[in-house]
Amino acid sequence: MTSLRVAVDIGGTFTDLQILDESTGIAHAHKVPTTPADPSEGLITGIREACATLGVGPERISAILHGTTIATNAVLQRRLPEGAVITTAGFTDVLEIGRHVRRQVYANRAEQRALLVPRSRRFGVIERVRADGAVETPLDEASVRAAAERVRASGATAVAIAFLHAYANPDHERRAAEIVQEILPDAFVSCSHSVSPEIREFERTSTTVLNALLMPVVKTYLSRLKGRLADSGISAPVYLVQSNGGVTTPEIAGEQPARLLLSGPSGGARAAEVLAAELAEPNLVAVDMGGTSYDVSIVHDGAVRLVTQGEVDGLPVRLPMIEIRTIGAGGGSIAKVDETGRLHVGPDSAGATPGPVCYRRGGEEPTVTDANLALGRIDPGYFLGGAMDLDADGAGRALIDRVATPLGLEAGAASEGVVAVATARMAAAIRLSLFEKGLDPKDFALISFGGAGGLHACDTAAEIGASRVVFPRDPGTLSAWGMLFGDVVHDLARSRLMRADPAAIPGLRAVVADLHDEAEALLARDGIPEADRGHPVTLDFRYPGQAYEIGVPLPAGLAMPEALDQAVAAFHDAHERQYAHAERHVVPEVVTVRMAATGRLTRPGARPFEAAPDGRPKGTRPIRIAGSEREAAVWDRAAMGAGVGIDGPAIVEEPHSTLLLPPGWRLTVHPTGALIATRIAKEA
């Protein structure tokens, strides 16, 4: 009996699926338009269509791994409920004070702070805990009750509780939460000690506020999804993909939705890490270009980098996540000319509704997809494998009216300009991701995926100075494929400031033992067998006086103090690699102890690949490239034989993606089925 594991990545324009046949290890790709009003509707439609194509019923589904942008979109679009903050008296302005960071250092005014909770709904209560966890001022329960009444009067439905030094002693937060729930039984309450139990009150408070405001958004969606799955006869367990690349249960996701803020992009980063080993390409720049966004992640020495803090729309999020840089540049990015005659592409997107003009859904503003269609790079009759017929004439008219005429250009030059501006923005995002780590683009290959990525990858690589581009199999749904490699992960942390010397070992052992007990309880609740549980530990180190840390694994299988000595040595090496100096004579400080409670799930097997025996192009068509019309060979990717070498200009088509090979590039078929483009000369 065939059992299927389904991975779903809901993007801004399309919902991507990868369906793994667990008996054969073969994964099948599927794609449907996203339904923004209710993303679960598109998810169910995709599962039904995929099951029908494979000839199996939904009862065969063993698990659903679900990546979603619902949390991110709610923050970006400010579709959030009214929230309130209860904090230690005297600290109600922490969110507004922030870190005094000025992005424009020469501006005569500071940037506006992104605030999700105004001062009128931030309330202080009497309590004080010291940094060592000792109680300086007991919790005044009367002040908590008064604050809860003021929350009720304000109309807020989500409450963030973030007390000073609650990471060291959470008792006051726990009691305050009980009181708030007594007075406001229907409120969504989030405590900082359970969301982000770490030092730095600004980042911890910001994360807790985001979590509280997202709770009703995510819980409502998960409830609706549960009902739709039941109505469709699907009883399989659902796991939500987290920002760290692991998965978690809907129950945990509902209580800690801030962990979903990079849910979708993390699948693509995880896929790139898997492919780095498969292709023997340890250094990859992974770029995921969908309809709305462009996500950049780095695989260096075979691994993606986890960071302990990120940012969403200017709001700090103090949670472990795969390091990903996202900009608003996708196939649906809107091209417009401003009043000064300057062409802009993105970050605004046409999304799935109405979408680009060529989708025939009422869109009026030209997009990157419209420009590629007008340039002949997309076949209007083969989009999504022929499932969607595109309006080339409508796209051309929109580009003339909104771009060419205002700029005084002919239509082809205007369309190339749209693509060039989008490509320049993508290249800038990649450069920043590499240069800030001291990495050279020439040492990396680009791995391009997402439905729109293949049309821009070679030009983007040339822009940054890279000479190799990898086009993986099923690029249009690769993020969903990467989700199939996710394990159950619970990120646990304890901030405990201590010198990394022998005197710290008893305290370090106690913290690790405490985290281990918590990890075992969580994994047991998830039903993970003991043999499949892992408890890797990471220590955040810094030199005394520094305001930033570097995380280093604590070697497993080694006893103290050898394990600590090796971790300290690794910290010095990492600091020198990242900042070009190390103070090896200085004893660093341990700031935070982290444990990733991991429940290993069954991984997909090797994907069989049989190259076509005698690949030939299916025809040619004229495309505009580098300012002139060129005749390009058009290939069906499924018909490309082993060892075939293709010189640009050429187009390679598959159902969910199109690849453009410019002049000066050569494409070959890798034994795994990936396509490798190599720059052989400067573009003609």
Alpha-carbon separation of residue 308 from 246, 305, 317, 321, 438 (angstroms): 15, 10, 9, 6, 20
**Alpha carbon of residue 404 to chain centroid:** 35
Q: What is the pLDDT of residue 36?
A: 82
Q: What is the pLDDT of residue 21?
A: 86
pTM of the model: 0.85
Alpha-carbon separation of residue 512 from 40, 484, 672 (angstroms): 40, 30, 42
pLDDT digit string, tens, across residues 192-244: 999 999 999 999 999 999 999 999 999 999 999 999 999 998 999 999 999 99
* Count of Cβ atoms closer than 10 Å to residue 139 Cβ: 22
Mean pLDDT rounded to a whole number for the chain: 91
User: Tokens 């969607």, residue?
Assistant: 388
pLDDT digit string, tens, across residues 610-634: 777 667 888 999 999 988 999 999 9
pLDDT band at 641 (very low <50, low <70, confident <90, very high): confident
* 4-73+237-249 topology per CATH: Nucleotidyltransferase; domain 5 (3.30.420)
Which residues, 6 or more positions from 480, have their beta carbon under 8 angstroms from its beta carbon?
7, 8, 9, 16, 17, 18, 29, 67, 267
pLDDT digit string, tens, across residues 301-343: 999 988 888 888 788 999 999 998 888 888 999 999 999 999 9
Q: What is the pLDDT of residue 684?
A: 42
Q: Which two tokens stand for residue 115?
A: 């605030």
> Minimal CA–CA distance to 190: which of 163, 215, 217?
215
CATH code matching the domain that covers 488-599, chosen among 3.30.1490, 2.40.128, 1.20.58, 3.30.160: 3.30.1490
pLDDT band at 595 (very low <50, low <70, confident <90, very high): very high
How many residues does the structure list for the chain?
684
Strands 247-248 and 315-317: unpaired
Residue 668 and residue 670: Cα distance in Å, rounded?
6
pLDDT band at 1 (very low <50, low <70, confident <90, very high): low
Residue 287 and residue 265: Cα distance in Å, rounded?
10
Q: Where in the chain is the domain with CATH 3.30.1490?
A: 488-599
- The proportion of the chain whose per-residue pLDDT surpasses 70, expressed as a percent, equals 99
Q: What is the pLDDT of residue 390?
A: 93
Any idea which of 15-19, 498-502, 641-645 has the lowest mean pLDDT? Answer: 641-645
Whether the per-residue pLDDT at 578 is higher than 90: the answer is: no
Whether the per-residue pLDDT at 108 is higher than 90: the answer is: no
Any idea which of 79-83, 112-116, 159-163, 196-200 has the lowest mean pLDDT? Answer: 112-116
Residue 355 and residue 29: Cα distance in Å, rounded?
22
Q: Are 538 and 594 in contact (CB under 8 A)?
A: yes
Angle at 610 between CA 607 and CA 613, to 5 degrees: 170
**Which phi and psi angles does 660 have, rounded to 5°?**
-110, 125
pLDDT digit string, tens, across residues 18-45: 998 887 778 888 888 888 888 899 999 9
Q: Where in the chain is the domain with CATH 3.30.420.40?
A: 4-73+237-249
Stronger pLDDT, 345 or 346, i.e. the higher one: 345
Sign of CA dihedral 312, 315, 316, 320: negative
Alpha-carbon separation of residue 348 from 76, 355, 627 (angstroms): 12, 11, 27
**Which phi and psi angles does 544 have, rounded to 5°?**
-55, 130
**Which phi and psi angles does 344 have, rounded to 5°?**
-115, 140
User: At 504, which amino acid appears?
Assistant: A
Residue 148 and residue 153: Cα distance in Å, rounded?
9
Where are any strands of DSSP class E within 575-670? Answer: 589-599, 619-625, 628-636, 645-647, 650-654, 657-661, 665-669
